Amino acid sequence: MKNIVILISGGGSNMAALVRCAARDQWAKRYGAQVALVVSNKAEARGLDFARAQGIATEVMDHKAFPDRETFDAALGDLIARYDTPEWPALVVLAGFMRILTPAFVERFAGRLTNIHPSLLPAFAGLHTHQRAIDASCKFAGATVHLVTAELDHGPILEQAVVPVLPDDTEATLAARVLTQEHLIYPRAIARLLQRG
């Protein structure tokens, strides 16, 4: 089996979209792949309840319990590595995981570490993407799925979706419009990666 490990910090709606798509499109049968583990760095992340209800293994790894970023990332990496199989190293999917990862972690999972970012990268890397798009009078906004490299919110783009920015948009209304598209492009990007093998 190809194991997919999804990392979250909060609502987990992208994770849920991936899990639902995996079931609907029969990723197990089609690609021999399954969402095997959901990890959160926050115990109160609402996404954990959804994962548990689906019978998916969950782990909480609280970054505050570790002395520094390097130690946390090493432990997180070791946890994920338990889901490698001899024929296939686990695919690591960041889905609203609000932690900056160390170069060592990125290197360890290079080529099989993906992220979704709520902007049309390379525009608006970092935080507050929707407000920044509104402040810049952008006419379009969107989301990007990319492979993770050492530079924050960079790396080869796998999928993008574009939405209009409407004149009366607030950060919240734009975020909601973008999020509906995220739920389409992230599963599509992961399915493509699984297809490629």
Per the annotation, the verdict on 128 as an active-site residue is: no
Residue-wise DSSP of 116-184? EESS-TTTT-SS-HHHHHHHTT-SEEEEEEEE--SSTT-S-EEEEEEEEPPTT--HHHHHHHHHHHHHH
Our finding on whether 114 is near ligand GAR (CB under 6 A) is no
Considering only residues 39 to 58 of the shown chain, the ones binding ligand GAR according to CB under 6 A are 47
If we measure between CA atoms, which residue out of 11, 14, 4 comes closest to residue 145? 14
Residues 153-182 that bind ligand GAR (CB under 6 A): 179, 182
Binding of residue 6 to ligand GAR (CB under 6 A):
no
Is there binding between residue 142 and ligand GAR (CB under 6 A)? no
**Dihedral-angle region of residue 60 (phi above 0 means left; psi in -120 to 50 means alpha; beta otherwise):** beta
Residue 14 makes contact with ligand GAR by CB under 6 A: yes
Q: Which stretch binds ligand GAR (CB under 6 A): 12-20, 34-42, 65-73, 159-167?
A: 12-20
Q: Which of 11, 32, 77, 89 binds ligand GAR (CB under 6 A)?
A: 11
Under the binding rule (CB under 6 A), the answer on residue 8 touching ligand GAR is yes
- Contact criterion met (CB below 8 Å) for 63 and 99: yes
Here the tokens at position 119 are: 């902007």
Q: Which is nearer to ligand GAR, 82 or 128 (CB)?
A: 128
Residues annotated as catalytic (active site), given as ranges? 117
